[in-house]
Amino acid sequence: MKQLMLYCRSGFEKECAGEIQDRATALEVFGFPRLQKNSGYVLFECYQNGDAQKLVKELDFNSLIFARQMFAVAAEVTDLPREDRISPILEQLSDVDTMPLCGDIRIETPDTNEAKELLKFCRKFTVPMRQALRGKGALMHKENAKKPVLHICFVQPGHCYIGYSLPGNNSQFFMGIPRLKFPADAPSRSTLKLEEAFHVFIPRNEWDERLASGMWGVDLGACPGGWTYQLVKRSMFVHSVDNGMMAQSLMDTGQVKHHQEDGFKFEPARKNVTWLVCDMIEKPSRVAQLMGEWIISGWAKEAIFNLKLPMKGRYDEVLQDIENLKVFLIENGVKFKLQAKHLYHDREEITVHVQCLSNISPH
Ligand SMILES: C[S@@+](CC[C@H](N)C(=O)[O-])C[C@H]1O[C@@H](n2cnc3c(N)ncnc32)[C@H](O)[C@@H]1O
């Protein structure tokens, strides 16, 4: 297999392509990205056969910022007839001997406005396609989350890419997008950004421990309170820092202290904060630096924050800010885990998570 399929937000194909080019080269996989603006996907064409399998195995999916999903392409099928799309797909797959036995199937489409109709078709097509693949022995009879996932990605009604991703090195979500419902009592839609970040960055089985009730959080740039709402919902106490107005419903919970101050100057009086979250609209380099200072000072154990992207040079800016933050933490003796993602609910921004694992010198 020579092609790697990557889904991304429509309009961010260039960033996704730049990233996969750099990351593949670092693994000594050589090739070039094919992209079309606003298509919602990038195809990375490797020069060498077998390199797509190497990438799905060795390229750490969680370390990619702009890709929502990645899979190795086993076959591309074009001109599928309306009356029978199943047979040509089965035929193509039977020619590929490197396709692993899969435990699950996702029939998807890149996430674009035009693809809404196609998505309806994908949903309808899933049941008959699944049955046919099971009949051919390409798919296990019972769903198995430990086995590879078979992806069929329709880019047009008669045109699809078929391939697989590996469990543990893919997005667990259909189309790489967690489906979240907007909570009716949340003060702003931004609330979904932080909720999605929890789903993407914190393994579900660690939520009880890492997002525990009674913890303290600090929310910089908090108003009207969508992010604070997420922490309050988990029974935490929050210092919400912003000169604006907080939603009264949050203040009424008694779990929120509103500080009308500059987020760059705020210092928590008691050093009992677990979570630092930050959604201030500010220069990304400044925000990244501030987050580093909090972690190095031992003022917070985990941070989730947005880096707003500039109009131009979005990929370079993000790489530089993250690199600077990593160097800053390392030079100050902090051991950490860092992950950055362009989330579904992010637009001109990315979300970063830093977990402090050990810190030799809290000031
Ligand atoms: C995108 S909004 C935050 C939305 C919020 N996360 C929510 O879910 O409701 C950005 C906020 O950052 C605040 N802000 C910008 N610069 C700030 C600063 N230096 N200190 C404190 N707040 C700041 C603005 O007042 C604004 O309310």
Rounded Cα gap, residues 157 and 108, in angstroms: 11
Q: How confident is the model at residue 361 (pLDDT cuts 50, 70, 90)?
A: low
Per-residue tokens: 204: 């579900």
Ligand 1 neighbourhood includes 19 CB (under 6 angstroms): no
Per the CB < 8 A criterion, the answer to whether 103 and 186 are in contact is no
The gap from C-alpha 188 to its chain's centroid, in whole angstroms, comes to: 21
- CA 256 vs CA 187, 228, 229, 251, 252: distances in Å: 14, 8, 9, 6, 8
Residue 363 has pLDDT above 60, yes or no: no
Rounded Cα gap, residues 183 and 152, in angstroms: 32
What are the pLDDT digits (tens) for 71-120? 999 999 999 999 999 999 999 998 888 899 999 999 999 999 888 889 99
Q: What is the pLDDT of residue 311?
A: 87
Q: What is the pLDDT of residue 359?
A: 84
Q: Which of 14, 233, 308, 326 is catalytic?
A: 308
Ligand 1 neighbourhood includes 224 CB (under 6 angstroms): yes
What are the pLDDT digits (tens) for 112-149? 988 888 999 999 999 999 999 999 999 999 999 999 99
Per-residue tokens: 301: 């154990």
For the CA of 226, the nearest atom of ligand 1? 8
The alpha carbon of 332 and the centre of ligand 1 are apart by a number of angstroms equal to: 28
For the beta carbon of residue 182, count every other beta carbon within 10 angstroms: 11
- Mean per-residue pLDDT of the chain: 96
* pTM given for the model: 0.95
Residue 362 has pLDDT above 70, yes or no: no
Rounded Cα gap, residues 12 and 7, in angstroms: 10
Percent of the chain at pLDDT above 70? 99
